[in-house]
Amino acid sequence: MSDFSSLQLAPPLAKAIAEMGYESMTPIQEQAIPVVLAGRDVMGAAQTGTGKTAAFSLPLLQRMLKHENASASPARHPVRALVLLPTRELADQVAQQIKLFSKHTLLRSAVVFGGMDMKPQTLELKNGVEVLVATPGRLLDHIEAKSVVLHQVEYVVLDEADRMLDIGFLPDLQRILSYLPKQRTTLLFSATFSPEIKRLASSYLQDPVTIEVARPNQTASTVTQLFYSVAEEEKRRALKQLVKHHGISQAFVFVNSKLGCARLARALERDGLKTAALHGDKSQEERLKALEAFKRGEVDLLVCTDVAARGLDIKDVPAVFNIDIPFNAEDYIHRIGRTGRAGAEGLAISFASGNDTKLVGDIEKLTKQKIELLGFEFEDERPVGRMNHGRRHWRDDDEQEDAQKAAATARSRFVPPAKVHDPFFDRPYEPDESAAPAQASVEAVSKPRASSISPNIKPKRKVAALFKSSS
């Protein structure tokens, strides 16, 4: 493995690399950087966490140093390098890396992605930037709003190209590439070389150099993979036990659905674990805050869907948990690629219930590794779940026994109140004499009065009057 010093990069770049602690190059960096410095197109396949960002950023910045200037005029700072990524999180992350690499230069960089107000982005673009990092959809918005011009672009990077095609960005990519000059250097990086990726490369790359540093769909050898057979309702309990048992300080926790992600994060938070959720229903601001809190160590468990499975470069994450086995076996590769990065040791633990047999089999076929489902032994066999939303807790046996003794003591000390005897209720019934006249008057009222009308006269039948009498 070669050192960065062998590249003979410009002093500002070499200084930034040294400050970031970079010493030896990864295989993708070792192979790609000299090729890009020579001005060749690159078609690179490398698993996540192999240092792709530095592999394309450093040679681009090196070649663009001839354009750096201190002018305040936006016209002197046109977009010369365009980096396209599939997700907001990836775009923000790559932009941060480029800023760190170029901090001792006069080159300007910016990032644009959806879910945020366009006005601040537009203002930054109109001030002029040499390196633009973007998601395809938001870049097209700025092109249509005429806040960015791409006719001086010299370098284009399509990172995580397979993911962009999966999301459906191919039409957007084709539109964006149509705005760019024909004479340019194009770099395409993908986890795998699928037929679709090869067609894309043949359309937009000119005689590219193919670089493969790892077998497609190969898991990192530094990651220990464990599969436990756990019932669906017991997975949260198993997660808590393993986090405690292994002394895990931080971990990614993957689930398959946004609803499951939100529910699990809330439940773990109630259990006393510092947890944040990362899924598609979160606003962009909430997602960025969650990532930053995780990076700072303020969050122990980052519960997420596959929106965070690719490309998130967070150093020293010791473990990944798959609460749900992913529906797509390739997503398993990307999930566990969040740990064991850059040669570090990592732990990947997956929970499989009875319904996951086929999904586990798909992972076996893809990775060509036999998977052994381990039984899980719980340390505490008390019933799981919450009672009254966590307001009551299960008692220890000693506490339960003490409570029973206290209740028995309380029952033995109970003395019923003495009965009070009233002799009035022992006397026989005696009618009240003053009530007799009243009874007689009632009877008198109830008797009908004698009528003064002859019994031979029939009373007139009463009918409703239709008209009032005129008299």
| pLDDT at residue 334, rounded to an integer | 80
**What mean pLDDT, rounded, does the chain reach?**
82
| pLDDT at residue 25, rounded to an integer | 87
What are the tens digits of pLDDT across the range 143-170?
999 999 999 999 999 998 888 888 889 9
Section 108-112 average pLDDT? 95
Query: CB 17: neighbour CB atoms within 10 A?
Result: 19
Q: Token digits for 382?
A: 């008390």
Confidence class for position 193, pLDDT limits 50, 70, 90: confident
- Give Cα separations from 402 to 6, 392, 394, 395, 410 (angstroms): 73, 17, 14, 10, 12
Q: Token digits for 365?
A: 């076929």
Of the candidate ranges 9-23, 41-55, 236-250, 445-459, the one whose mean pLDDT is the lowest:
445-459
What are the tens digits of pLDDT across the range 87-96?
888 898 899 9
| pLDDT at residue 151, rounded to an integer | 93
Higher pLDDT, 2 or 234: 234
Higher pLDDT, 309 or 193: 193
Mention every residue, 6+ apart, whose C-beta is less than 8 A from residue 290: 276, 277, 278, 282, 299, 302
pLDDT at 438 over 80: no
Domains and CATH numbers, the chain: 4-212 (3.40.50.300), 223-381 (3.40.50.300)
Which of 89, 86, 17, 6 minimizes the C-alpha distance to 57?
17
| pLDDT at residue 367, rounded to an integer | 84
| pLDDT at residue 399, rounded to an integer | 46
**282 vs 278: CA distance, rounded Å:** 7
What are the tens digits of pLDDT across the range 123-133?
999 999 999 99
Higher pLDDT, 157 or 115: 157
pLDDT at 50 over 90: no
66 alpha carbon, distance to own chain's centre: 41
Confidence class for position 66, pLDDT limits 50, 70, 90: very high
Q: Token digits for 97?
A: 């890396």
Location of structure tokens 């007139």: 460
Tell me the pTM.
0.59
Query: CB 158: neighbour CB atoms within 10 A?
Result: 30
**64 vs 387: CA distance, rounded Å:** 62
Question: Percent of the chain, pLDDT > 70?
Answer: 76
Query: CB 86: neighbour CB atoms within 10 A?
Result: 24
pLDDT at 122 over 90: yes
**83 vs 54: CA distance, rounded Å:** 13
Q: How many residues does the chain have?
A: 471
Confidence class for position 386, pLDDT limits 50, 70, 90: very low
Location of structure tokens 């490309």: 311
**313 vs 310: CA distance, rounded Å:** 9
Higher pLDDT, 299 or 22: 299
Of the candidate ranges 200-209, 233-242, 283-292, the one whose mean pLDDT is the lowest:
283-292
Q: Left if phi > 0, otherwise alpha if psi is -120 to 50, otherwise beta: which for 316?
A: left
Of the candidate ranges 58-67, 393-402, 457-466, the one whose mean pLDDT is the lowest:
393-402
Instruction: Kindly state the helix (H) or strand (E) to which residue 88 belongs, with its residue range.
Output: helix 88-101
